[in-house]
Amino acid sequence: AKEVLEKAKAEGADFGQIAKENSTDTKTKDKGGEVKFDSASTDVPDAVKKVAFSLEANGISDVITVKSSTYSSSYYIVKLNSKSEKS
């Protein structure tokens, strides 16, 4: 995950292409990892949402580790494309 993060944070990096090449999420991989969500979304773990909401537009998070109920770990790297207020 750290190697992927280095690629994502490199100058001129194509985050979507990196996601396509490295993501294991079959729902979002082909869309370059793009996911639209809000605070009520259940598709995105709370720890990931918390980090995403703290980012500025075009900001990239560090590696976020989320442990499941089966004690396996999933790793996330978030790039926030844009924010909008709920209406």
Q: Which helix (H) or strand (E) holds 19?
A: helix 15-22
Asked whether 44 and 66 are in contact (CB, 8 A), the reply is no
Report the alpha-carbon distance of residue 87 to residue 84 in Å, rounded.
9
Count the residues in the chain: 87
For the entire predicted model, the pTM comes to 0.86
Q: For residue 31, which amino acid is it?
A: K
Q: How is residue 65 annotated by DSSP?
A: E
From 57-61, 63-67, 80-84, the region with the lowest mean pLDDT? 80-84
With bands split at pLDDT 50, 70 and 90, how would you rate the model's confidence at 79?
A: very high
